[in-house]
Amino acid sequence: METVGILLAGGRSRRFGSPKAFAKLKDQYFYEWAYAALDKVCDDVIIITREELLPLFPKNLFLSTDDHRFSGDGPLAGIYTGMDIINADQYVVLPCDMPFITRKELKQLTLFPSTGDIKAVKQDEIFHPLVSIWNSSLKEKIYQTLMNKNLSVMQFMSAVDTEWILANQISDKPATVFQNINKPL
């Protein structure tokens, strides 16, 4: 089964104040932590970012901006773009602003049995829709959703067969691992 990682690193980072992808944790950029986790469980990894951030990434990485029709339309546009550029059976999606997620958690998520369209993580009452695995069969539905300017990832997920995996089933430290960093460390 072909698995591609989609690293979302193009958010506006309004609350953060600077591009989260280039914030640092222990002398590594956030995107480097996410990339390392994806690289260990995926056959290929694509980073979806904004045009102005492209020059900041190393040239040897597989980079893209959103499909021009959906530029700036949020995470759903990034997921669609990754699916449209690289064909695979499934896509492991990870945002750059969760640098504590490792290969271990992503591997556990990939191994967790599911028959749904999407597997995503839920920690207590907090949903993490961008720590997820998406079936390739969703590509056309995502395209139609974006064409209709319905940009909510959670709304999309509620319209398809999404299985929410409890964070403590894939991590022994879910409160630490599944932190979405919205303020500089």
State what percent of residues in the chain have pLDDT above 70. 95
**In which band, very low, low, confident or very high, does the pLDDT at 10 lie, cut at 50, 70 and 90?**
confident
Superfamily of domain 3-177: Spore Coat Polysaccharide Biosynthesis Protein SpsA; Chain A (3.90.550.10)
pLDDT digits (tens, 9 = 90+) for 108-155: 999 988 889 999 999 999 999 999 999 999 999 999 999 999 999 999
Q: How far apart are CA 123 and CA 175, in angstroms?
A: 8
pLDDT value for 19: 83
Answer whether residue 68 shows pLDDT above 70: yes
Least confident range from 12-16, 22-26, 32-36, 138-142: namely 12-16
Q: What are the domain boundaries of the chain?
A: 3-177
Q: Tell me the whole-structure pTM to 2 decimals.
A: 0.95
As a whole number, the mean pLDDT across the chain is 93
pLDDT value for 185: 62
pLDDT value for 20: 86
**In which band, very low, low, confident or very high, does the pLDDT at 184 lie, cut at 50, 70 and 90?**
low
When pLDDT is averaged across residues 169-178 and rounded to a whole number, the result is 94
pLDDT value for 110: 93
**In which band, very low, low, confident or very high, does the pLDDT at 16 lie, cut at 50, 70 and 90?**
low
**In which band, very low, low, confident or very high, does the pLDDT at 106 lie, cut at 50, 70 and 90?**
very high
